[in-house]
Amino acid sequence: MAAIHVTKDNFKQEVLEADVPVLVDFWAEWCGPCQMVLPIVEELAGEVKDAKVCKVNVDEQMELAKEFRVMSIPTLMVFKDGQKVKSEVGAKSKEELKAMLGV
């Protein structure tokens, strides 16, 4: 399964109400490091079974970026039981993302 594109309209349903851990990648098309992480995020989305992977384009979803205080991108956050439990800034390896998710 590909990473789910999340907007302010479906963030609550896809992330906060999820019954599994959720990795959220806050990114933008013009961001070089974001483009480096993109294939890793998509690959991880296709592999994980007990977690969910979502993406938020900060240029299109400024309200979400502001709400979660995204100051630099890529910012990767993990949510469990409706709460942000981890946050990292910068490009990460697939192993680092798996460790963040606990998978």
By annotation, the residues acting in catalysis are 31, 34
* Sheet hosting strand 75-80, strand order edge to edge: 4-5, 52-57, 22-27, 75-80, 83-89
Our separate counts of H helices and E strands in the chain read 4, 5
